[in-house]
Amino acid sequence: MSPSYSSLDAVSSAVYSTLNVASLLALAPGGVGDAIEQTTGFPCVLYVAQEKSVGGLGTRPGTGRTMQVDLRVHVFSNYQGLYEAQQVMSKVVELLTTTLSVAGYTAVPYPFHDDTIPLGNEVVAGVVVRELVSNWRLFVSEVVA
């Protein structure tokens, strides 16, 4: 296996496949993704990941280094209150707290859910929406051949 310089692609694929399922899409018909289209429906789910190396001094790609991935999941709803966004976020939490399989990496079995915060009213694709954000941490280590 060739060294990986970033875990973000593999983590993003794992998050997408975990969240892009019928049970969540029934609650969030606007879809799940790492971008929001101008023509999206609501509610919808957006995820954003960033990483940092926590493997120690001198680790480099291909040596089994460990990365901390900080994941933020946003739920946008055009329902007047937060009830709809809370239902969607509840399903997101349920799905992400199962085993998350990240190709090419060993991982803690599931991400740590740090918190969920309401951000109030936002404008997305020209529509006033309510936003909830949950923050997660996931630790992954490269699989070295």
Q: Which CATH architecture has domain 8-142?
A: 2-Layer Sandwich (3.30)
Give the mean pLDDT of 57-68: 64
Q: Work out the pLDDT band at 40, boundaries 50, 70, 90.
A: confident
What pLDDT score does 4 carry?
61
**DSSP 8-state symbol, 79:** S
Residue 9 CA to residue 51 CA, distance in Å, equals: 11
> Collapsing DSSP states into helix, strand and coil, what is residue 51?
strand
Sequence ranges of the domains in the chain: 8-142
> Biggest alpha carbon distance in the chain?
52
Interval 89-133: pLDDT, tens: 999 999 999 878 888 888 777 789 999 999 989 998 889 999 999
Interval 74-101: pLDDT, tens: 999 999 999 999 999 999 999 999 878 8
Main-chain dihedrals φ then ψ at residue 19, nearest 5 degrees: -90, -25
